[in-house]
A and B are shown apart, each in its own frame.
Chain A
Amino acid sequence: GPHFISFLASPSALTGSALFFHYTWRRNCSSAVMPRITSHYTIFPRDKDPRWEGVEMERFADEADVVIVGGGPAGLSAAIRLKQLAKEQEKELRVCLVEKASQIGAHTLSGACLEPSALNELFPDWKERGAPLNTPVTEDLFSILTEKYRIPVPMLPGLPMNNHGNYIVRLGHFVHWLGEQAEELGVEIYPGYAAAEVLFHEDGSVKGIATNDVGIAKDGSPKDVFERGMELHAKVTLFGEGCHGHLAKQLYRQFNLRENCEPQTYAIGLKELWVIDEKKWRPGRVEHSVGWPLNRNTYGGSFLYHLNEGEPLVALGFVVGLDYTNPYLSPFREFQRWKHHPFVAKTLEGGDRIAYGARALNEGGYQCLPKVTFPGGMLIGCSPGFMNVPKIKGTHTAMKSGMLAAEAIFPKVTAEDPASETAGLHIPEYEDNLKKSWIWKELYAVRNIRPSFHNYFGLYGGMVYTGVFYWILRGKEPWTLKHAGLDSAQLKPAKECTPIEYPKPDGKLSFDLLSSVALSGTNHEGDQPPHLTLKDDSIPVANNLAIYDGPEQRFCPAGVYEYVPLETGEGMRLQINAQNCVHCKTCDIKDPSQNINWVVPEGSGGPAYNGL
């Protein structure tokens, strides 16, 4: 018989009456009613929604000199630097910082081996101030793993992974400490309030941001406690949302910031904290591995760091490049099974897992750097992406970018007459300063290491390239290799790939997904529209499931996406468990249909990481 799709959930096709929930579509032989998934106002605008008629939509607005989105290393370093300059030069400056987490550090997740270069510049007296850098690196091990064995690789000085002089830190605690320093300097920090919208002047320059509305029900209608977010206006707005920020995604399009760079490529990093048997504890030891359980053509590897903060704590995790091609791959399950390798298991046996989390990270480096300044704003930190991929360090460059932004902004925002063509200040000096700084030199030198993995020998080709060109030539080769393109375009159809047999979790070393998500402490107000919005509700089953066997079920580290059978009739539907989300951004990156648009949920929602 004829089959047709009778409802298209694209905004332009909507009228007020078409917004009500059920729509029917027929596909092949199924004759089922598909429940609606997306109800967020970014997909279904409220000015066309009859349920919002007569609701007061005015927002309270306030002015600051500088507004910073994101309380991570970049945002806080920028805020601190601005206030330091204000103090030095005895000028008044109002700096406001908004952060979606309930407290500074609660959404921070990283390995992490901190290179103290930027910190030394920001606070030469960081030790006296009590910065939580308690674990200097004492031992640096690198291995290639096979299923049963381990091949040690010498950590020669000069190799990017060499960690001499660095500190193992719990980045969440370090960021929390930065927040305290910033508050002491007079920065107004507002955790629990997410920047949900970019505001623009008439001339198209950025005017500031608006924080999230509260009190919208799951179906998108206003609740009794509905309140509009607030507008924060600024002369210049800094966007430090971390890897793959949702406002940055919008700004790239608005100001065409990516026209001269490659699309960003990413990885997902999953992490756990374990209290281990004291006899196995080696404080200061850094271990990295590549190889098993990934095949040579899937980029990724592991880290295991022994912290020195009183109890025998190790931070460990697994990174998988999101340019992987097999839709049956589950980064979470690769992480869980890696822990069973004899070399890893011997450290963890008898220990207790106390924390879990995940976050996407940048892999693109130099080739993927966008323009970072535009009228009224700039991008800092992992948002544009200054991570040094082979070193797997991005904190020092993120901090430095924040400091450079502050130094470029300060004279302009305190000038009597900023002499700007646009209402929001455009400060291209920030980009010039970046190019002259050590960030640029560092990223340029390592630019070819990550793309060198795209060869027949995969991992081994990449290691040879690194050994020859980086270690010997320090990245001075005149060519620049390209990445593979958009991560979301790399998946092969499921029928061309082999499902991977993952072992069942044993409950001692490896665990199931839901108990892991529980350890992240993540929670969201249940009665709000799902913040994983779909541009078209019909695409997940029609495309993601049909062609790629629903890879989002596997790449989401929090079990947000589930394909479940329909209640009546044949077929499946996508169920979005938005409350589980840990704000890693992987789905927005890897969705082969690019149909998922992650937007910010009500502030305070998300993980409750403590020192991750």
Chain B
Amino acid sequence: YIVTIRVKPDHSGVVTDGVKHSMNPFCEIAVEEAVKLKEKKFIKEVVAVSCGPTQVTETIRTALAMGCDRGIHVEVSGKDYEAMGPLQIAKIFAALAKKEEASLVILGKQAIDDDCNQTGQMTAALLDWPQGTFASEVTIDGEKVKVVREIDGGLETIKISMPAVLTADLRLNTPRYATLPNIMKAKKKKIANMKPADLGVDMVSRVEVLRVDEPPTRLAGVKVETVDDLVAKLKANGTI
């Protein structure tokens, strides 16, 4: 994920052409958790979903190689893709969860490009389902799910009924590698293709990005010799 991003010359966003896109690390953890649940026989089938242009099928294949059973590619491209945000994605996920009669929707807690941390919560709200966010431990107990959540104060344990939305935090698990034999086998697994309109979702965004800029260059620090110097300088620039 170490890519030097560049702001587009017209300041409308960042350059994404030719930049390698890979599965969001928190989503990798989510996929791993889903596959683990299936291996422990708590769930029957794992469906991997991604919204975006053609290239996202590569990411879906990685999820299939990790152990998901089938994939769904919701095609969004061009201006719709540039304007796509958590609300639009949450609407798509909510529609799919209903259509597929899912008992769990598991996502990464946030995407590391925009750090919004909204999609999971919005999906739960649209579905009116309980949510177990920032999960660092997930245990299924009959029709309920026990979730240990990482919160600012420590760990919080809740019990919620299914169907539910869970979002994965860092310590939930260590994702397995997608090995080459599994990538080859994944080519035989199905990826269904559909558009947001097929799910009755309109992609109109209520957010308009006016301008994207790089953060201002950090100015060099100044070393001072004594505490008096420090106080004098802080007074001089108006800090105190």
A residues whose Cβ falls under 8 Å from a Cβ of B: 60, 62, 98, 102-103, 105-106, 172-173, 176, 188, 190, 193, 211, 214-215, 224-225, 227, 229-230, 275, 311, 354-355, 518-519, 521-523, 608, 610-611
Smallest CB separation, B57 vs chain A (Å): 12
Contacts of B20 in A (CB 8 A): 102-103, 106, 608
B1 to A: closest C-beta gap in Å: 7
* Whole-angstrom distance between the Cβ of A286 and the nearest chain B Cβ: 23
Could you tell me the distance in whole angstroms from the C-beta of B172 to the nearest C-beta in chain A? 15
Residue pair B4, A225 in contact (C-beta under 8 Å):
no
For residue B9, CB closer than 8 A to chain A, the reply is yes
**B173-193 interface bits toward A, Cβ cutoff 8 Å, 1 = contact, 0 = none:** 010110111011000000000
B3 touches A225 (CB 8 A): no
Instruction: Assess whether A211 is in contact with B2, with CB atoms less than 8 Å apart.
Output: no
State the Cβ distance, A525 to closest chain B Cβ, in Å.
10
B180 touches A193 (CB 8 A): yes
0/1 string, B132-161, CB within 8 A of A gives 1 = 000000000000000000000000000000
B2 interface neighbour in A105, A106, A190, A608, Cβ under 8 Å: A608
**Cross-chain pairs A/B with CB under 8 angstroms, 12 sampled:** A62-B181, A106-B20, A188-B184, A211-B180, A215-B177, A227-B176, A275-B9, A354-B4, A354-B6, A355-B4, A523-B1, A610-B18
Residues of A within 8 A of B6 (CB): 354
What residue of chain B has the Cβ atom nearest to residue A105's Cβ?
B18
Residues of A within 8 A of B209 (CB): none
With A354-B6, A518-B4 known to touch, is A611 a contact of B18 (CB < 8 Å)? Answer: yes
Known A190-B180, A190-B183, A354-B6; further 17 A-B contacts with Cβ < 8 A? A102-B20, A102-B22, A105-B18, A172-B18, A211-B180, A214-B177, A215-B177, A225-B176, A225-B177, A229-B179, A354-B4, A518-B4, A521-B3, A521-B4, A523-B1, A608-B2, A608-B3
- For the complex formed, measure the closest distance between the CB of A289 and the CB atoms of chain B, giving whole angstroms: 28
A88 to chain B, nearest CB (A): 25
Evaluate contact between A214 and B18: CB separation under 8 angstroms: no
Task: Determine if B19 is an interface residue (Cβ-Cβ < 8 Å).
Answer: yes
For B18, list chain A residues within 8 Å (CB).
105, 172-173, 176, 610-611
Given the complex, which residues of A lie within 8 Å of B180, measured CB to CB? 98, 190, 193, 211, 229-230
A265–chain B nearest beta-carbon distance, Å: 33
Residues of B within 8 A of A (CB): 1-4, 6, 9, 17-20, 22, 174, 176-177, 179-181, 183-184
Distance of A433 Cα from B105 Cα, bound (Å): 59
| A518 to B3 CA separation, bound complex (whole angstroms) | 8
Bound state CA distance, A211 and B177, in angstroms? 13
Q: Across the A-B interface, how many residue pairs have beta carbons closer than 8 Å?
A: 54
Contacts of A190 in B (CB 8 A): 180, 183
A344 to chain B, nearest CB (A): 23
Which chain A residue lies CB-closest to B217?
Answer: A507
Contact A523 B2 (CB under 8 A): yes
**Contact flag A225-B174 (CB < 8 Å), given A523-B1, A608-B20:** yes
**A521-B2 contact in complex given A225-B174, A611-B18, C-beta closer than 8 Å:** yes
Least Cβ distance of A261 to chain B in Å?
35
Residues of B within 8 A of A227 (CB): 176-177, 179
Within the complex, what minimum Cβ distance (angstroms) separates A74 from chain B?
21
Q: CA–CA, A443 to B2, complex, Å?
A: 40
CB contact between B19 and one of A214, A275, A523, A610 (< 8 Å): that residue: A610
CB distance from A231 to the nearest CB of B (A): 10
B19 cross-chain contacts in A, Cβ below 8 A? 608, 610
Name which residue of chain A comes closest to B8, CB basis. Answer: A311
User: Which of chain B's residues has its CB closest to A230's CB?
Assistant: B180
Chain A contacts for B181, CB-based, 8 A: 60, 62, 230
Measured between alpha carbons, how far is A85 from B181 in the docked complex, in Å? 27
The distance in angstroms between the C-alpha atoms of A611 and B6, with both chains bound, is 14
| Residues from chain A with Cβ under 8 Å of B17 in the complex | 610
Give the distance in Å from the alpha carbon of A176 to the alpha carbon of B179 in the complex: 23
B2 touches A522 (CB 8 A): yes
Cα separation A102 to B181 with both chains bound (whole Å): 17
Please report the C-alpha to C-alpha distance between residue A129 and residue B3 in the assembled complex, in whole angstroms. 29
Q: How far is the CB of A320 from chain B (nearest CB, A)?
A: 25
